[in-house]
Structure 1
Amino acid sequence: MIKTLGLTHLSLAVGDLDRSLAFYSQAFGVREYYRDADSVQVLGPGAHDVIAFELDPLRAGERAGIDHFGFRLVRPDDIDAAVNEVVRAGGKLIRRGEFAPGCPFAYVSDPDGYQIELWFEATPAVEQDGR
């Protein structure tokens, strides 16, 4: 087995770099750390998260076999605020529900149409220290 820091980045083809940066900054608190004419890279909310926005209007929003990606919530009670923030930032609610009592989820989309899962699932680490 190869030791890694886990899945650390995601690259998305987007139609507008500034629109994507604004959406993910407002909804998820990402911070820009690199930019050139065709891309913007941001540091995400997790310790090792990077999202790269690659300007490619012809492929923006194509799922190409990847159904969605997700952000795991710290508390189950944050689901309503998370959905509201995504909508306020320019995204859309697709559907929501619960995997089990106390384990809510919502599927939302970003301005390019990528599906994002917002979800909570308790684990011993989450229950003990809130991470």
Structure 2
Amino acid sequence: MTTISDVQRIDYVEFNVTDIEATKAFYGRAFGWQFKDYGPNYCEFSDGRLTGGFTNLEKPRPGGPLVILYADDLEASLASVESAGGKIIRPITGFPGGRRFHFGDPDGYELAVWTRA
């Protein structure tokens, strides 16, 4: 359950990787992270405090992982990003468990905002 204190905060970090199994092996050995597979193209990780994901549906992106924020009202968050001068990179799209959009900040960093389905 999401609380008010969770809204508009970093909620998830997603890495685009070339080989999910090799990535899991690395982070598992290096840091003791735990994993939950969601099919051949997605794996969630937990470092004991924060969760995130590994996906091979897109190529690894320059600049690092995708930082994802949570919002109860996705449309309001999209409007807020636009009114603050952010560039919508990917419009609201669905995925199993929710919907999200991607945006670019003034320095060109790509982030996403998601909400539950």
Shorter-chain TM-score: what band?
A: 0.3 to 0.5
